[in-house]
Every structure is written in structure tokens, then in C-alpha cells.
Amino acid sequence: MPRRKVVHPGSAIGEAIGNLIEENIREAVRAISEPLGYKVASKKLKNGMGNIHQIDTVIENEHGDPVILIEPKYLRYKKHNWDKGSRLCIGHYSLRKTFKTIQKSIAVLAGNWTRNSINFIQSFGIEIYEIPFLKIIDILKAYGIPFAWEEKDARTPSRAWGKFIQLNRDERNDISRKLTREIIKDVISSVKRTLTIDPSVPKQIVEIETLIKTTQNEFIVQGFKTVTEAIQYLLTFQADIADLKKILK
């Protein structure tokens, strides 16, 4: 890998690690998806509001419609949990509202993700696989790359980046495989199960969610366990109402 100078070596190596994880997962998913007639690629998707989301791995059907979204997200500092986590949730949720063909969202969370953030992301129907930060540290240590440093430490990130860019392609491939080794089989199994599901198998409702948008750009979300509960709620809106305050209260 050619040496290149960067302004923020800590961010550069974090991005590089994220790319290794992304590439390994995409190729593994491609190996099982393409023989089934699906296409796999990194792609920009536009939601119903016109906002564009860059999705790392999109599995598309023969018509070019997205079926599965997969995004690895690397995080070093816990203080960025809310920012990255909420953007992931909003992006996938809005795309699922736009593309009715999407059957599954998957996130591979690498690094320092808190349990609260993980639970929050899962509440949006996103399937999660984790690569702990300590695991990344241990794997890179075997290649002489220090990956644990304090936030204000400027020397260690530079040393780490200097070591990383000296790796050859085979070494980077090895790191990529080791990073994903404990989750890759489960990711592949999940994807394959979705792509090969028997259409004759009955599907049962386990949860219903309604979303109401008001003229003040408020979004009111309600969850229900049964169809009957959802219908009873929606019946309160069966007539045009000038002010929703009483009902929403």
C-alpha cells in the first residue's frame, strides 16, 4: 500500500479498518447472493423526501429494487454513539418507508458502541452484529499496530498509521478476515435465509406501527401488538379533524 500523508492519522486508520470490514462482508454476501439471481453493490438510494443515503452494501433483486441493506459502522469514541446511531436508524427507516421491497436491514457495529445505542438501533428493526473494540486492538497488535490511545494522544495514531500503510495486500486481507471471523457466518446465514424464504410459508403479524405526520411536521409513532388494536386506534381518525390535539393527547 503506497505511503500517503494524512492530516488526521487516527481517523484515517479508523476509516481504513471500517473499509476492510465492509469489503469482506460485501464479498461474502456477493458469493451467496449472485448465484440466486441478486446483485450486490455499494449504492446511493433516495428516500421519499428526496434525501440521498449512501449504503455500503445493497442487495437488489432482478428489477434493481433493494431487498437487503447492510452497513458496517466503526466507532472509536462513545461520545459519537448518538450521532452515528441515529443517522443509521433514520436512514434505514426512511428507505424502508420508500422501498417496500426492503425485507431486512443489517448493521455491523465495530468499536465502542454502548448497550443503550445498540438497543436503540435494534428498536428500529435493524439486525445487529458486533465487533468489539478490544478485539480490533488485539488483532492489530499482532501486526505491530498500536490501536489503543487516549483522545488527546497525537503520537500513537501517527505511529499506528505509519505501520498500517506498510502492510501488503495479503496482510490487510488477513486482518479483514480476522475482524469478521466471528460474525460472518451469521451474517451470511441471515442474508441467505431472507433471499431463499419459501413464499408458501405463512407470515404472521407480531407488531404493527403507525406513523402520523401533522401540519407542524410532528411525527407521532404508535406501536400495537394486534391488528384489532391498530384498527381501533385508526378509527379515531375516521373523520377529518381540524385539530388533533385532543386525540393525540
141-156 confidence digits (pLDDT tens): 999 999 999 988 989 9
Query: Across the chain, what does the average pLDDT equal?
Result: 89
The H or E element that residue 141 is part of is: helix 133-141
> By C-alpha distance, which of 110, 153, 161, 159 is closest to 134?
110
- Give the 3-state secondary structure of 36-93: HCCEEEEEEEECCCCCEEEEEEEEECCCCCEEEEEEEEEECCHHHHHHHHHHHHHHHH
Closest CA to 67 of 35, 38, 108: 38
Does the reported pTM lie above 0.85?
A: no
Domain boundaries, the chain: 9-195, 208-248
71: cell is 452497513
pLDDT, tens digit (0-9, with 9 covering 90-100), for 84-114: 898 899 899 999 989 999 999 999 999 999 9
How many other C-beta atoms are found inside a 10 Å radius of the C-beta of residue 95?
Answer: 21
Residue 215: the pLDDT is: 74
The DSSP element (H or E) to which 16 belongs, if any, is helix 9-33
Grid cell 428526496 is found at 50
* Paired residues of 68 in beta bridges: 59, 104
Res 247: pLDDT: 64
Strand (E) or helix (H) holding 129: strand 126-132
Residue 221 has pLDDT above 80, yes or no: no
Q: What is the pLDDT of residue 8?
A: 87
Q: What is the pLDDT of residue 2?
A: 44
At 181, the pLDDT band (50, 70, 90 cuts) reads very high
Residue 1 pLDDT > 50, yes or no? no
Region label for 150, one of left (φ > 0), alpha (ψ between -120 and 50) or beta (otherwise)? beta
Over the stretch 6-43, which tens digit does the pLDDT of each residue have? 778 999 999 999 999 999 999 999 999 999 999 999 99
Residue 249 has a pLDDT of 59
9-195 to CATH, choices 1.20.1740.10, 3.40.1350.10, 3.10.350.10, 3.60.20.10: 3.40.1350.10
pLDDT digits (tens, 9 = 90+) for 114-140: 999 999 999 888 999 999 999 999 999
